[in-house]
Amino acid sequence: MRSARVLVSAVGVFLAVMTILAQVNDRPSRLLAITRVAVIDTIKGSVARDMTVVIRGDRIVSSEAHGAAPKGAEVIDGQNRFLVPGFWDMHVHLSYARVSALPALVANGVTGVRDLGSDLSELDRWRTEVSGGAIVGPTIVRAGPMLNGMEFNVYQLAVSDATEARAVVRTLRKVGVDLIKIHRRTPRDAYFAIAEEARTLKLPLSGHIPMTVSPAEASDAGQATIEHTETLFEGTFATQNAGKDMLTAMTAWRMTEAPALFDKFS
Task: Name 37's Cβ contacts closer than 8 Å, sequence gap at least 6.
Answer: 8, 50, 51, 52, 53, 78, 79, 81, 82, 83
Give the Cα separation of 261 and 133 in Å (integer).
45
Is the pLDDT confidence value at 83 over 60?
yes
Cβ-based neighbour number of residue 89 at 10 Å: 16
Helix 246-256 to helix 258-265 angle (10° resolution) is: 60
pLDDT band at residue 26 under the 50/70/90 scheme: low
**134-156 residue pLDDT tens:** 999 999 999 999 999 999 999 99
Whether the per-residue pLDDT at 124 is higher than 80: the answer is yes
Tell me the CATH number for domain 146-265: 3.40.50
Give the pLDDT of residue 182: 97
3-state secondary structure of 258: helix
Give the residue among 79, 83, 135 at the shortest CA–CA distance from 106.
Answer: 135
- Could you please report the per-residue DSSP string of 86-149? PEEEEEE-HHHH-TTHHHHHHHTTEEEEEE-SS-HHHHHHHHHHHHTTSS---EEEE--SEEES
Report pLDDT for 29: 75
With a pLDDT cut of 90, the percent of the chain lying above it is 83
Query: In this structure, is the dihedral angle defined by the CA atoms of residues 98, 103, 107 and 111, taken in order, positive or negative?
Result: positive
Taking only the tens place, the pLDDT of each residue in 170-197 is 999 999 999 999 999 999 999 999 999 9
Map out the domains of the chain as residue ranges: 6-85, 87-142, 146-265
Determine the pLDDT at residue 12.
34
pLDDT in tens, 227-239: 998 999 999 999 9
How is the beta sheet containing 110-115 ordered, strand by strand? 87-92, 110-115, 139-142
Report the pLDDT value the prediction gives residue 58, as an integer from 0 to 100. Answer: 81
Question: Strand 225-226 relative to strand 205-207: parallel, antiparallel, unpaired?
Answer: parallel
Which pLDDT does position 10 carry in this prediction? 40
Q: Is 2.30.40.10 the CATH number for 6-85?
A: yes
Lowest-pLDDT range of 27-31, 173-177, 209-213: 27-31
pLDDT at site 5: 59
**Alpha carbons 52 and 67: distance in angstroms, whole number:** 5
Q: Say which CATH topology domain 87-142 has.
A: Translation Initiation Factor IF3 (3.30.110)
CA distance 186 to 160: 8
> Quick one: pLDDT at residue 6?
54
φ/ψ (deg, to 5) at 49: -95, 160
